[in-house]
Chains A and B, each alone.
Chain A
Amino acid sequence: MSLIAEKKSFGAVLWDYLTTVDHKKIAILYLIAGGIFFIIGGIEAMLIRIQLAVPDNDFVAAGLYNQILTMHGTTMIFLAAMPLLFAFMNAVVPLQIGARDVAFPFLNSLGFWMFFFGGIFLNLSWFMGGAPDAGWTSYASLSIASPGHGIDFYALGLQISGGGTLIAGINFLVTIINMRAPGMTYMRMPLFTWSTFVASALVLFAFPPLTVGLFLMIFDRMFSGNFFNHLLGGNTIIWEHLFWIFGHPEVYILALPAFGIFSEIIPTFARKRLFGYSAMVFATVLIGFLGFMVWAHHMFTTGMGATANAIFAVATMAIAVPTGVKIFNWLLTMWGGNVKFTTPMLYALGFIPSFVAGGVTGVMQASAPLDYQLHDTYFIVAHFHYVIIGGVVFGLLAGLHFYWPLMFNTMLNETLGKITFWLFFIGFHATFFIQHFLGLLGMPRRVFTYGADQGWDLFNLISSYGAIFMAVAVVVLVANIIMTIAKNQPVGRDPWEDGRTLEWAIPQPVPFYNFKQTPLVRGLDTYWIEKQEGNKEGMTYAEPVMDIHMPNNSIIPFIMAFGLFVGAFGALFNGEKAWAVPVLILGLLITFISMGARSLKDDLGYHIHKEDLLNDKGGKH
C-alpha cells in the first residue's frame, strides 16, 4: 500500500484521506490530529511551568493564564488523549478480532471529522477574542459570568467533538459485539479489545450527561436560559454533578484502553500469557461499573453533607481493589517470564510504579475529610498527572512504539525510543512528584502566580525544570518519527517476534480488506497458538476465499461535520453580528442536506472478486 501511495500525487492522497472509510487510515488521521493537539497542549503546559517557575512572575498575565490552563486541560483530555486512544483502537481492534473493518465505516469517518472540526473550532478561540477561561471543568457560576466568547467556544466545540466521540464509542461497541471472527468468544478476546469494549460502553453512558450539561450552558449563555442562574431559580451545583457524572468515567475511558495496551505489551515481551486473564477481564468491567458510582468525590467540598461524602468516600476506595488486582496480575505475568526491555516494555515497566503512586494518592483523596485539605491544591494536580501521564500517556507512547510497525510497516528507532522514555520518565517524576508537597504546603491549584517566601519557591522551580525534560523527550520522539518515515524500511509481519494476538498474524503491509479469508480463532492468543503448532500462515481459516464486500469512500462525513463547524460560528455570534443567523442556518443546511444525500442515495459499496484476491500478490510476506 505504501508503495502505491507514494506514486499518487499529493492531491490524490489528500482526497483519499478526506474520503476514507478504512479503519486503518482513520487511525492514521486520529494519530496525526491527536498528535498535533498533544503538541499544542504541551506548549500550553510549558507556558504554565515557565510562569510558575519563580514567584511573582509576570510572563503571562492573569486572565491569559486562565485561558492557557483551561485550554491545556481541555486539549489534553478531549483533543489529544482520547483521539490518540481512538487511533490505536481503530488501528488494532478490527484486526485483533478478525474483522474486515468496524461495523459502521461511514460513521467512523463522521466521528473523526466531528472530533477534528470541534477541536479546530475550540482552538480558533485563541484568534477570535480569547480562549475559554473557566478551567476544563467550567464550573457554572464562573463560566456564566465569563465575558467574551471563550466559554461559547468551549461549549460548542466540545459539543461537536463530543458527538464524534459518542459515535466512535457506539461504533466500537457494535463492532466488538457483532464482528468477531468465528471462535473469538468473549473470553478469548485480547485485553485491548476488552478494554476498548468497556471504555466504549463508558462513552455511551458518560457522554450524554456532558451533552446535556453543555446544552444547558449553551442555552444559558446564548439564549439567556437560566438553568444555572440561581437568582432566577437555577442551580450551579447541577452543572457540577452533570460534569462529573461524565468527568469521572472519562478518567476510565482514558485509563482502561491504556491498561489494555499494557496488557498486550507485557505478555508479548515477557513471552508469557497474561496471568489471570479472567480476573483481568472482570477487573476491567468492575472498574468501568464502579467508575459511575463515585463522581461526587470531586465535590467533597461542595457541601453535600456528611452522609453523601461518607458514601462516596467508601465507594471510591472500592475502586482501588480491582485496580490492584490488575497491577498484581501484570507483575505475575512477568514473573517466571522472559522479559525483553524494548521501548514499549520500558513504558510498561515505567507505568507500573508511576500508576501505583497515582492510584494510592487517589485513595488518600477518597478519604473525604483529608480531601478537604487536598482538594483544589497542587496535590490534586500531582495526583491526576500521575494517573493521566503515568497511566494514559505512558500507554499512548508505549502503544505508539508497539503498534507503529502494525500501522506503517516500519519500526521506530529503538535507541531514540529509549532515550525518549528515560527523558520523559525522569522529567515526569521531577515535575509532578514534588507537586504533592506543594499541595500539602498550602498551594492552591489554578493560580497564575504566588507570593515569594510561602515555602513554595524551590519546589516550583524544580517542577519547571522537570517539565523541560519532558519537552526535550517529545522533541526526540518527533525526530524519531520523522527519521523513521524518511528511512521507510519495511519490517514485515510480527516484527516484535513474540506477537501473540491476531493482528500480528496478518501480512504486512496490511491489505486494505484486512483478511483475505476470515480466520478461525482457536483460543486466547490465537497467533501464538498457530506459531507453536508450526503454522507458517499464522492463521487457520474459517472460510474459503470468497468475494469481499467493501464500502465506498465518501466525502459526505467531512461535509456533514464541516456544516456543524460553520453553524457553530452562527450560534456563537448570535445576537451580535448580522450574519450570525444566516450562517447558523447555512451550516445546519449543509449538514442536513448531506444527511439527506446519504439517506436517499443508495451506496451499496463494491465487491473485490475472488479471482482478483487470488491473483493479489501484494500483502504476502
Chain B
Amino acid sequence: MIKGIKKWRLFSLLAALTVFLSGCGEEYISTLTPAGQVASDQLDLMYLSTGIMVLVIIVVMIVYILTIVKFRRSKVGENMMPKQVEGSHTLELIWTIIPIVLLLILTVPTVVVTYNLADVSGMDKKDEEGNATAVTVNVKANLYWWEFEYPDLGIVTAQELVVPTDEKVYFNLIAADVKHSFWIPAVGGKLDTNVENVNTFYLEFDKPSNELETGVFYGKCAELCGPSHALMDFKVKSLERTEFNEWVTNMKDSAEAQAPQGDLALQGQEIFATSCIACHAISGEGSTGGVGPNLATFGDRNRVAGYMDYTEDNIKKWINDPEEYKPGNLMPQPEDLNDGKKYTEQELSALAEYLMGLSVEK
C-alpha cells in the first residue's frame, strides 16, 4: 500500500516534470533551457525577478479580492455611506519602503551580472607564442545572411557558426547594411549589430550541438531589418575543442578538399565558375569581405538559405527564385546572370550536386 502511494507520488512528480519541461519549449531555441553560462545567469535573474514579482502580485491580489468580496454594494447595502478616509502616512510609508527593499534585492545581482557579461578582457589574452587563447568570431550581419570570420584562425564561413564548447567564445558584431541583432536564445541574450560601431560580448556553449534533436542551436535576427527579417536565421554547431580544431584544419584545406566528384558535379562547378563565383567564395580560408555568403561548408549545412530544409529540391528552388523565398534579399535572380534565361532543370541539378559536395566534414 505504502509502496503504491510512493509510486503514485513518483508518477505525479514525473507527470508534473514532463508538463514543466514541455512548457520550456525546444531546447535548441528556448531561453528556458540554457545551454551556457550566459543564458543560465540570465535565467537565474529571471527566476529571481519572477519570484519577487509573483510575491507582489499575490499581495495585491489578496487585498484586491478581499476588497471586492467584502465591500460590494450588494453586501454592504445600497445606502451605506462609507467613512471618508483621507489616507494613512504609515501605510504610504510601508508600501513605499517594502517595494524599495524588494527592488534592491533585484538590483544587486542585476548590476553584478551586467558588468560580468560585459567583460571581454579574455579576448586579448595571448599564450607564450603570441596566439590568442580564446576563439574570437567577427560576425557581420548582412541583409538576411550572416558571415562568421575567425580572424585569429584565418578562416571564414557563413550562415552556420561553429564554436568550441566549454570555453568563452568572443564576438565582434557589426552590420554591413542596416541594423540587425545577433541572438542565440538557448545560449545567451542578444546584442545588436550596429552599422557604425563594433559591439563585443561573449557566450559560452555548454554542450555539443549534436546532442540536440536538431543537431544545431537556432540563431535569430532580433531587430526588424526588412521584409525577410523573419527568415534571417542562422544555425550554431558547438563542437568539443578537439573536434573544433579538426574543423579549423579542414577549413584551411577546404579549397583542395572540396574537389567535385562526378560529371554532374563538374558541370555544376563550370556553371558556378561563370556566375555564382563573382559573389560566393568556396574556400574557407580567408577573411571577411564576401559579397554573398561563403559556401565552403555548404555540403555540411543544416539549412538552405538559413531556414529551408536541407534538400536538393530546396537548393534548386532557392537558386531558381531567391526573391520568392526571401523577399528583398540581394542575391540576383538567375536570369540576371544567365543571359535573361532561367537555369534548366538539368543545370540546377548540376549546381545542387556541386554545392552539396562542398564539405569539410564528410
**Which positions in A face B, CB cutoff 8 Å?**
61-63, 65-66, 133-135, 139, 141-142, 145, 230, 235-237, 270-273, 275-279, 301-303, 305-306, 309-310, 313-314, 317-318, 320-321, 324-325, 327-329, 331-332, 334-341, 349, 352-353, 356-357, 360-361, 363-364, 366-373, 375-377, 437, 440-442, 444, 446-451, 453-456
Contact = CB atoms under 8 A, between A and B. Distances in A.
B20 interface: no
Q: Is the interface of B mostly helix, strand, loop or mixed?
A: mixed
A285 to B, nearest CB: 15
Contact of A320 (B99, B117, B228): B99
A95 B87 CA distance: 26
B71 A328 contact: no
Given A272-B85, A369-B45, A372-B42, A66 B179 contact: no
B118 A321 contact: no
B317 interface: no
A417 B197 CA distance: 53
Interface string B43-68: 10110011011001100110110111
A352 B57 CA distance: 10
Contacts of B314: none
A387 to B, nearest CB: 14
B328 interface: yes
Contacts of A318: 103
B193 to A, nearest CB: 9
A303 B192 contact: yes
Given A273-B85, A328-B95, A444-B220, A451 B307 contact: yes
A493 to B, nearest CB: 20
A61 B230 CA distance: 12
B181 A142 contact: no
B2 to A, nearest CB: 38
B99 A142 contact: no
Contacts of B76: 338
A271 B84 CA distance: 9
A301 B60 contact: no
Interface stretch (B158-166, B182-190, B249-257, B349-357): B182-190
A363 B49 contact: yes
B225 to A, nearest CB: 6
A453 to B, nearest CB: 8
8 contacts: A271-B80, A301-B222, A303-B191, A338-B77, A368-B114, A373-B190, A375-B190, A454-B26
B219 to A, nearest CB: 10
A321 B87 contact: no
Nearest to A340: B73
Nearest to A314: B107
A449 B32 CA distance: 22
Nearest to B34: A373
A356 B62 CA distance: 13
Contacts of A275: 85-88
Given A336-B83, A338-B82, A62 B327 contact: yes
B175 interface: yes
Contact of A364 (B31, B49, B68, B88): B49
Interface residues of B, number: 93
A460 B80 CA distance: 47
Interface of B: 23-26, 29-32, 39, 41-43, 45-46, 49-50, 52-53, 56-57, 60-61, 63-64, 66-68, 71-73, 76-77, 80-88, 91-92, 95-96, 99-100, 103, 106-107, 110-111, 113-115, 117-118, 173, 175, 177-179, 181, 183, 185-186, 188-192, 194-197, 199-200, 218, 220-231, 307, 327-328
Contact of A372 (B92, B188, B196): B188
A305 to B, nearest CB: 7
Among all A-B residue pairs, the 4 with the closest Cβ atoms: A372-B189, A447-B230, A441-B25, A276-B87
Contacts of B179: 139, 141-142, 236
Contacts of B177: 141, 145
Contact of B45 (A279, A327, A367, A440): A367
A437 to B, nearest CB: 8
A120 to B, nearest CB: 26
Contacts of A310: 110-111, 114-115
B340 to A, nearest CB: 24
Contacts of B31: 373, 440-442
A133 B328 CA distance: 13
B71 A372 contact: no
A275 B107 CA distance: 30
Given A364-B46, A367-B49, A279 B87 contact: yes
Given A145-B178, A230-B195, A454-B26, A367 B63 contact: no
B328 A237 contact: no
Contacts of B60: 327-328, 331, 352-353, 356
B222 A455 contact: no
Nearest to B109: A367
Nearest to B115: A306
A63 B189 contact: no
Contacts of A320: 99, 103
B100 to A, nearest CB: 6
Given A235-B196, A276-B88, A372 B100 contact: no
A445 to B, nearest CB: 8
B61 A272 contact: no
Nearest to B143: A145
A536 to B, nearest CB: 19
B222 A375 contact: yes
Contacts of A356: 56-57, 60
Given A306-B118, A372-B191, A441-B185, 9 more contacts: A145-B178, A270-B71, A272-B85, A273-B86, A309-B118, A332-B85, A373-B31, A376-B181, A447-B229
